[in-house]
Structure 1
Amino acid sequence: MAHASDGRSLEFKLPDLGEGLTEAEIVRWLVEVGDVVAVDQPVVEVETAKAMVEVPCPYGGVVTARFGEEGTELPVGAPLVTVAVGDAAAEGPGRGAGTGTGTGGAGAQEAGTPAAEKKAEGSGNVLVGYGTSEAPARRRRVRAGRPAVTGASGRANGWARAAEPADAPVRAAEPVDGPVRAAEPVDGPVPVISPLVRRLARQHDLDLRELTGSGPDGLILRADVEYALRAAAAQGGRAADQGPGTDREPDAASVASSASSASSGFSSPSPAPGSDGTRVPLKGVRGAVADKLSRSRREIPDATCWVDADATELMRARTAMNASGGPRISLLALLARICTAALARFPELNATVDTEAREIVRLDRVHLGFAAQTDRGLVVPVVRDAHARDAEGLSAEFARLTEAARAGRLTPGELTGGTFTLNNYGVFGVDGSTPIINHPEAAMLGVGRIVPKPWVHEGELAARQVVQLSLTFDHRVCDGGTAGGFLRYVADCVEQPAVLLRTL
């Protein structure tokens, strides 16, 4: 994953993230070129087909190069960063940093100019510095072998300083061969409302520093990016109509969009005939979900049965448990405890099908998955050995995994290996569903919302807390009698929680 490239710096490569993952997309860099990093400090946040994870670097020193822009997909084993360690961190990167020069004392050039782009092309240089939303930022390119670095005092105005020991004398800047453009102060990252806006701009090579946001305090909204893209497309069409040699003055919007296009090589793709929609790549978590559900539909002959149940007594039992003190018990934990008891009676549903061997594999342990909706889409964290946990233990694990899912911190191991899934779609305010089985599992229990409904209770009509339960199962592993028996047992436990005492 890392090797010494010249005896003074170490190259850290994208590590194997497990679970058969072969690539990852760079979502956000956590360090800049020139930053000082400690051992095991996260340097980049990546998104795999399983989860969003932070990748720690096993070396401490000064970051001298980064490989890949945000949004780039890298294969496992590709270089991520190089880190100068030891004497290289104290001496090597600091050379010429105070003058804004790279190796050989070449003067800094403004990014986006023809000379700068020509020099940077194929050179392996890296871009440092931030911009503002008020004016085009001055950038400079620093050769990766001798970049500017951050010292103990940090970075000022978005530019890197030389790293020196605290007691080292101040060194004069080395002479350069030509004039150097003075760096303009910058205020920090471009204010953008969400990562989706950054991704949209990145996909179309649009420089956000060229835009003025219409949101509060100049915040750049998605509408601002879409307007700039339309303006760039219109400007491209007008330029083609006018042809060379025209003296017509473009409007302000055209100037802004054309400046962005010139600096980034942007050209707006022509929409398909009769289509004005937006194309969203199926990758990352969304792509993994699409692949798994498509495979489930192709391979599993599923069927669904459902039943209404009176959950009044279950809700009362939960209220009594939480009133007695101690950790609170969630409704999901009680339903999970019912599921594990039902699977002990009907093990056919805690299984998978080996299609190559034409065998049904019945599993001894219950790893219970549960559907969790996050900003990044639907994920299914897995509670390991759910059959061996009580209601308190299940509540704590559900809470931990849900928080990690919403924060994007789930590991690949926490998202795989499930044997049965519990899907509480009642949180969306719906009564029923026919969910797709989470391949390669054999069944999924769905739980609708619990709402007051008219119900015949003890021979009289009464308002009771009613829930609809559905079971989608693989018809290869069992017949309807087994599936119906499982679902009926779950409904009996919901209506009379004391039934669970038989298996506790």
Structure 2
Amino acid sequence: MPKFTFNLPDIGEGIAEAEIVAWHVKVGDIISEDQPLADMMTDKATVEMESPVSGVVTKVAGEAGDVIAIGAMLVEIEVAGDADNEAEKPAKEPILAVVEDENPHAPEPVSIAEVTPPPVAPPPVAPTAMQHATPAVDKVTASPAVRQRAKDLGVDLADVKAAGGHVRHADLDAFLTYGTQLGYRPAQFHARRADEAVKVIGMRRRIADNMAASKRHIPHFTYVEEFDVTAIEAMRADLNANRGSKPKLTMLPMLIVAICKTIPQFPMINARFDDEAGIVTRHGAVHLGMATQTDAGLMVPVIRDAQDRNIWQLATEIARLADAARSGSAKSEELSGSTLTLTSLGPLGGIATTPVINRPEVAIIGPNKIVERPMFVGDTIEARKLMNLSISCDHRVVDGWDAANYVQALKKLIETPVLLFTA
């Protein structure tokens, strides 16, 4: 029977190759026209390939994680009747949309032990002569707290040696440390997980490549400053209490307003560096990337023209883009073209961070968590809400002096929040 060769079509301007993220067919499958064949990932989106013909799959190009050049064979299909030459019959247009599988980019385990060994049962402990002779005398005594702890751990207090027969927490600790010769294993301990090798493909590979390229090419430096956010947090609480149908405000929209208001004085922060051409482009508009954690890995949706939006519009757009990234429905144009990136771990923000720059940008800003601490205010000590803010910069483009001055300008706006709403 004739065979039809489906070559990987041109799936985007400037795209020379694509990675196989997942196969929907295998050799020997009977398929129909328009049936999905594979998910292919480019730098911009995940593309679903559909079969232009019906038949039986006789050959596939590689496995998940392999990179295929545009125009190379993707699938070979045995068809009934005469097979049209693919050069004469153009392939169907691929669906250029982010695939909305539950987790389309999740790495597939390559080598996982199929059976986890069960816990080794403790060997029986031979009763001692004393136990045989005077079972009633050897009754263990312990406080209710020690008994409850032993019960939670699955420890028989009769196995724990204690001076005078009264078991204390210290005796239980010693047994946990040194009593393994009895074959003891706490009840909540489970058999050790088997090792597994996970192939780095899809989104995880893109993240790995981008982070490695950023650290390899960019000489990073990080500057950290402490902000007193007591006043702006009070303002935020008032705005939320009277927001009506507007979205609830977090710190991020107010910080973005401050970032955008200070950029005109420090244009080198909002820039992209083409190091191969030796050109730095200082952008007038702030297209702010928002680092967002998803099941598939870290994605950076972009708030276009952030400088033209108010705090409520920013709050709405942040929520919309985060939902789109996490659900896999973000469009390719929403995931590219940022000129400056903001990364926040929210309550997990830590004391300070050293974020990695989103190349080819030259700076990334990372607010850390807000904590309440005593602070001198004039001659008195007050409880104040404090937050550290980190900025990492490309030292080829941004000097430390400029980065420090930029953060100080941000600090002034954040600590005097009324300035955010003045011309």
Residue in structure 2 matching 1:22, options 5, 17, 26: 17
Query: How many Å separate the matches in 1 of 2:25 and 2:407?
Result: 48
Which one-letter code corresponds to 1:352 in the other structure? R
Structure 2 unaligned blocks of 5 or more: 82-101, 118-193
1:104-183 pair list within 5 angstroms? 144-146=78-80
Q: TM-score, normalised by structure 2?
A: 0.64
Contact 1:351 1:441 in 2 (8 A): yes
1:75 aligns with 2:57: no
Query: How many Å separate the matches in 1 of 2:369 and 2:378?
Result: 23
Query: How many Å separate the matches in 2 of 1:225 and 1:194?
Result: 25
Query: How many Å separate the matches in 1 of 2:116 and 2:63?
Result: 20
1:298 aligns with 2:216: yes
1:19-44 deviation line (CA, Å, top 9, x unaligned): 6361121425399845575xxxx836
Residues 226, 389 of structure 1: alpha-carbon distance in 2 compared, 3 angstrom cutoff? farther
1:471-482 pair list within 5 angstroms? 471-482=391-402
Query: How many Å separate the matches in 2 of 1:417 and 1:14?
Result: 25
Where does residue 245 of structure 2 map in the other structure? 326
1:396 aligns with 2:330: no
Residue in structure 1 matching 2:226, options 308, 320, 327: 308
Structure 1 unaligned blocks of 5 or more: 82-123, 126-143, 148-192, 205-221, 228-275
Q: Is the partner of 1:224 in helix, strand or coil?
A: coil
Where does residue 114 of structure 2 map in the other structure? 224
Residues 380, 196 of structure 1: alpha-carbon distance in 2 compared, 3 angstrom cutoff? closer
Query: How many Å separate the matches in 2 of 1:359 and 1:54?
Result: 32
Contact 2:8 2:69 in 1 (8 A): no
Where does residue 41 of structure 2 map in the other structure? 48
Deviation at 1:368, TM superposition (A): 0.8
Relative contact order (C-alpha < 8 Å, sep 6+): which is higher?
2
Deviation at 1:431, TM superposition (A): 2.1
Residues 27, 421 of structure 1: alpha-carbon distance in 2 compared, 3 angstrom cutoff? same
1:216-258 deviation line (CA, Å, top 9, x unaligned): xxxxxx663778xxxxxxxxxxxxxxxxxxxxxxxxxxxxxxx
Contact 2:107 2:202 in 1 (8 A): no
Query: How many Å separate the matches in 2 of 1:380 and 1:198?
Result: 20
Which one-letter code corresponds to 1:440 in the other structure? P
Residues 395, 343 of structure 1: alpha-carbon distance in 2 compared, 3 angstrom cutoff? same
Query: How many Å separate the matches in 2 of 1:64 and 1:385?
Result: 49
Contact 1:52 1:408 in 2 (8 A): no
Residue in structure 2 matching 1:199, options 100, 108, 129: 108
Where does residue 387 of structure 1 map in the other structure? 307
1:374 aligns with 2:308: no
1:42-84 deviation line (CA, Å, top 9, x unaligned): 836625254663527597xx75456568726443345667xxx
Which one-letter code corresponds to 1:455 in the other structure? M
Which one-letter code corresponds to 1:469 in the other structure? L
1:493 aligns with 2:413: yes
Contact 2:105 2:296 in 1 (8 A): no
Where does residue 156 of structure 1 map in the other structure? none
1:440-459 pair list within 5 angstroms? 440-457=360-377, 459=379
Which one-letter code corresponds to 2:244 in the other structure? G
Deviation at 1:422, TM superposition (A): 0.5
Deviation at 1:352, TM superposition (A): 2.6
Residues 33, 340 of structure 1: alpha-carbon distance in 2 compared, 3 angstrom cutoff? farther
Contact 2:232 2:415 in 1 (8 A): yes
Which one-letter code corresponds to 1:46 in the other structure? D
Which one-letter code corresponds to 2:260 in the other structure? T
Q: TM-score, normalised by structure 1?
A: 0.55
Residues 198, 347 of structure 1: alpha-carbon distance in 2 compared, 3 angstrom cutoff? closer
Query: How many Å separate the matches in 2 of 1:19 and 1:414?
Result: 18
1:206-245 pair list within 5 angstroms? 224=114
Query: How many Å separate the matches in 2 of 1:145 and 1:421?
Result: 50
Where does residue 354 of structure 2 map in the other structure? 434
Which one-letter code corresponds to 1:495 in the other structure? E
Residues 26, 197 of structure 1: alpha-carbon distance in 2 compared, 3 angstrom cutoff? closer
Which sits farther off after the overlay, 18-27 or 429-438? 18-27
Where does residue 148 of structure 2 map in the other structure? none
Q: Is the partner of 2:245 in helix, strand or coil?
A: coil
Where does residue 467 of structure 1 map in the other structure? 387
